[in-house]
Amino acid sequence: DIQMTQSPSSLSASVGDRVTITCRASQSVSNYLNWYQQKPGKAPKLLIYAASSLRSGVPSRFSGGGSGTDFSLTISSLQPEDFATYYCQQTYSTWTFGQGTKVEIK
């Protein structure tokens, strides 16, 4: 199976900060890469698919990039509702998720 490794595992940031989370695949997944946001006690929500396509209704401060093995999720200006855990997922082969990145309030 393709292993997905996110970094950092957690980070502390302030409202208004620019935040970038990275996701690395153990082999190329082309751009078959999605990002999800999960808040405590809630189901995950899809943010980005196909590495850089923003899901309808998701704020434009979220953006995704990358291809092959290296990907990023950027929040341009962190808002209070963005404190959550973020997961990447590859759908190139036998779908797998990263271990998650927890974004906490500084």
Partner 1 sequence: EVQLVESGGGLVKPGGSLRLSCAASGFTFSKAWMSWVRQAPGKGLEWVGRIKSKTDGGTTEYAAPVKGRFTVSRDDSKNTQYLEMNSLRSEDTAVYYCTTWGRYYDGSAYYFFDYWGQGTLVTVSS
Nearer CB in complex with partner 1: 34/69:
34
2-41 footprint of partner 1 as x/- string (CB under 8 A): ----------------------------xxx-x-x-x---
**Interface with partner 1, residue 62, by CB under 8 A:** no
Please identify which residue in 5, 11, 44, 68 interacts with partner 1, judged by CB under 8 A: 44
Q: State whether residue 82 is helix, strand or coil.
A: helix
**Interface with partner 1, residue 61, by CB under 8 A:** no
Q: How many chain residues bind partner 1 (CB under 8 A)? A: 26
Minimum CB–partner distance for residue 1 and partner 1 (Å): 7
